Amino acid sequence: PIQKNNTVIRRSIIPPLVMIALTVVIFLVRPIGIYILMMIGMSTVTIVFGITTYFSEKKKYNKDVEKREKDYKAYLDNKSKEINKAIKAQRFSLNYHYPTVAEIKDIVETKAPRIYEKTSHHHDFLHYKLG
């Protein structure tokens, strides 16, 4: 199953925020201007990459869910066709081996070769299915 990753945005934004906080602390302890600018730049880049990763993961997740639903619907459609085919085959077999009374009457009246299909060696010789 496809699992949604809810922690991507937190994991990608918390480290740069910690970096910014540490930069402010370092600036208060030892004010070096270029160091502050460098840390803010790196933090900004990290945040931007984190956000873009979050949205790309979200887009990928939505595509995966859509593909999974499409594949599942196709699977259900194929199984439905397969089951209907088996039902038709079983219904034909049942109707062939156990004809209705009217069909039996026609078989007897026309002396159709089906009369001689069953012999006394068959387990259902002279049996009729009711219902």
pLDDT, tens only, 27-57: 778 777 777 777 778 777 877 887 888 888 8
- The mean pLDDT of the chain is 81
By the 8 A CB rule, do 23 and 41 touch? no
More confident residue, 62 or 35: 62
User: Tokens standing for 42?
Assistant: 């790196």
**Cα distance between residue 39 and residue 16, in whole Å:** 9
**Cα distance between residue 27 and residue 10, in whole Å:** 25
Q: What is the reported pTM?
A: 0.57
**Cα distance between residue 12 and residue 57, in whole Å:** 12
